[in-house]
Structure 1
């Protein structure tokens, strides 16, 4: 019986190791057949990517504080084929309308910028800060959505690094 227990333990340990090894740290990302390219900070973890239309990449931004154990800070880049400015405007309108339905939605008091939406909303009982930016490039609507807990025990340095990472991607997506 101990032989089977040892084998079972070994299989579980191997599976856990493979799962951890399968977690991809982000770096250079190419989407929409190479027309959308950007680089993420090395400590961001690529937790989801889909192919097709839309094409989506989701990155976890690690927060090692107590806040990070219950809240998931993440950045999503979505690329959707729209063809022209009319399709782009429709995509932005539809996406921003979804934000209005989030529990506790409240627009942030920041100067308006074109195709940019900054707001807070509730997620799993916690207050989150959202930033959504949109671009039209080569017939594709591109959405960059950055969300993090409004308050994190990680402190202002972590928040600044999060914002810097989002701004870095935004600069490449323009």
Structure 2
């Protein structure tokens, strides 16, 4: 069978192997602000934004105490977490700043703005927001022109809502 997948298809969740469940929960819930929905002892937990059953599953089933995969190996490049607004992305950046978590990159892709970092198990994490489609860069023929430019972090930090500062 050929043809595109149904355009309403979405990725529902990602499940990550971690070495230490409590450490992972401190990052995903304590720093990023996800809500713990369910925990299975010391082996697994499910976290979400907004009460969904889970956006991220964390488990130690095959990885308790394990080391991250070495550079140059296959596996997850990063999980991308979509924020609804620029202000919400600015709040995420403030959370990282407050926790002393360094960014590994920050890019303006024209269609989106993205922060890149590693979780405690060196799983890549992208925190991003999409620009409205009307603002996407296009060529003269109307084709999409994604770019990679340095993201203006000072401008992003200024977007954080005043009540959250």
TM, length-normalised to structure 1: 0.32
In our comparison, the structure showing a higher alpha carbon Rg is 1
Q: Which has the higher helix share?
A: 1
Q: Which has the higher strand share?
A: 1
TM, length-normalised to structure 2: 0.33
